[in-house]
Amino acid sequence: MTATSSSPSALEVTIPADRRRMEPLDSGQLCVIVPAFNEAASVAGVVSDIRTAIPACRVVVVDDGSTDETALRAASAGAAVLSLPVNLGIGGAVQAGYRYALRSGCLVAVQVDGDGQHDPDEIARLLEPVLDGSADLVVGSRWLGRGDYAAPSNRRVGMRILARIVSWRTGQHFTDTTSGFRAAGPSVLALFAHEYPADFPEVETLILAAKRHLRICEVPVRMHARAHGRSSIAGLRSLYYMLRVLLVLLLGQPGRGHG
Amino acid sequence: MRPFALGLGVSVAFLLVILVAIRRRALRDQMAVLWLAVSVAMLAMGVALPFHLLDHIARAVGVRYGSDLLFGAAVVFLVLLVLQLSVAVARLHARTTRLAQELGILLMDDRPLRPSQAGPDNSPVA
């Protein structure tokens, strides 16, 4: 990363502002984004766990056009609820959360899935590199030895292939590119509010951030097997998923979904 | 003479349909011009049928039969048209997404959630 300042004398201008440790956040500056589509069974638990783990934050549940009681359960658990009028899919929902976060003056955002797969107790670990100024985007990886998350072998093979390709494209080693458990510092928050891929965003956003020379790091986290429902990406859809993501990875130009 | 009458009838009918659609504003500017051009071209081909105009043109560009040239050109035209429509749909999709996101954010400030408002319209965005 190079500083684009014309004054070479002061040491400070050669260091981007966000490379230094951030000022302590007040409760209005940290936003936890919880995308949820028909997660009435788990969303309230996720919200209250987040509020217990990180008392000083805004929790916003993005209800992606659910037909069940997701919005109500989230609201009664104390979250702000952003209800989308139509189902946009995970990318559109998460981006709505980032837009809300940016507009309400947040500096740091954390993404936690509404299905209970991500353990809110791990949010602090995700936040650490952002707060100490060593990373702009932090990805919680389930494959770095913490927890005992298990995936079926065919899924694991797919995940490994994606991790390889992303590592190759970015020149940085990744283990868990499909993880949606992430923390974003100010620059990534602004980027994602502005530009976010629509359909299968997790992998694509890594390339997007890397292209902008934002610093990405992985931290080990514990993940649970989902408590309810099943993955939205299963069966034939997972083949389609791999195809789509590979296409994006190999052709580049990610993130042009929603400008 | 029968193919001549049939061709002419169809192309006149098509032109009428396009004109009505434009009058009712069912076609937007760009597309209106395009379809008008298509219907005029159809009419011209219908009128020129007895003079074997198409065959002459075909031979001039090195295609043996007029009908082959017509089908070839039609396929190219339709593929390009569908491609253009796919791009247009993608653009509309991006706009819809943006609007839905903004609406969601606006409603948050404006309308605190009440029990009667559960279950939004869940029609898919195509």
- The pLDDT tens digits of the residues spanning A170-195 come to 899 999 999 999 999 999 999 999 99
> Domain range holding B10?
1-51
Indicate if B39 and B76 belong to the same structural domain. no
Q: How confident is the model at residue A4 (pLDDT cuts 50, 70, 90)?
A: very low
pLDDT single digits (tens) B49-97: 778 888 888 889 888 888 889 899 999 999 999 999 999 999 999 999 9
Indicate if B10 and B41 belong to the same structural domain. yes
Domain count of chain B?
2
CA distance B3 to B97: 49
| A25 vs A100, higher pLDDT | A100
Q: For position A229, what pLDDT does the model report? A: 59
Per-domain residue ranges of chain A:
25-223+231-251
Q: For position B113, what pLDDT does the model report? A: 53
pLDDT, chain A, mean = 85
ipTM of predicted complex: 0.80
Q: Give the closest residue to A215 by CA, choosing from A139, A107, A112.
A: A139
Indicate if B70 and B46 belong to the same structural domain. no
Residue A14: both structure tokens together: 């050669």
A36: chain B residues, CB-CB within 8 Å? none
Three-state DSSP class for residue A229: coil
pLDDT single digits (tens) A75-94: 999 999 999 999 999 999 99
Architecture of domain A25-223+231-251: Alpha-Beta Complex (3.90)
Domain membership flag for residue B58? no
Indicate if B43 and B3 belong to the same structural domain. yes
Mean pLDDT, rounded, for B10-39 = 90
Give the closest-approach CA distance of A48 to chain B in angstroms.
18
Q: Which residue of A has its CA nearest to B98?
A: A258
CA B56, B62, B68: angle at the middle one, nearest 5?
75
How do strand A108-111 and strand A216-220 relate by DSSP bridges? Answer: unpaired
Interface of chain B against chain A, CB under 8 Å?
93-94, 96-98, 100-105, 107-108, 113, 115, 117-125
Residue A11: both structure tokens together: 């040491």
Compute CA distances B11 → A2, B16, B26, B50, whole Å: 64, 9, 20, 15
* Residue A80 dihedral angles phi and psi, to the nearest 5°: -75, 135
Indicate if B2 and B41 belong to the same structural domain. yes
Q: For position A1, what pLDDT does the model report? A: 40
A67: chain B residues, CB-CB within 8 Å? 119-120, 122
Give the closest-approach CA distance of A139 to chain B in angstroms.
24
Domain membership flag for residue B124? no
User: Could you give the residue ranges of the DSSP H alpha helices within A3-111?
Assistant: 11-14, 43-53, 70-76, 89-103
Domain membership flag for residue B97? yes
Name the residue among A62, A71, A258 with its Cβ closest to that of B97.
A258
Q: How confident is the model at residue B31 (pLDDT cuts 50, 70, 90)?
A: confident
CB within 8 Å: B100 and A259: no
Q: Is residue A44 less than 8 Å (CB to CB) from chain B?
A: no
Q: Is residue A61 less than 8 Å (CB to CB) from chain B?
A: no
pLDDT single digits (tens) A215-230: 999 999 998 876 555 5
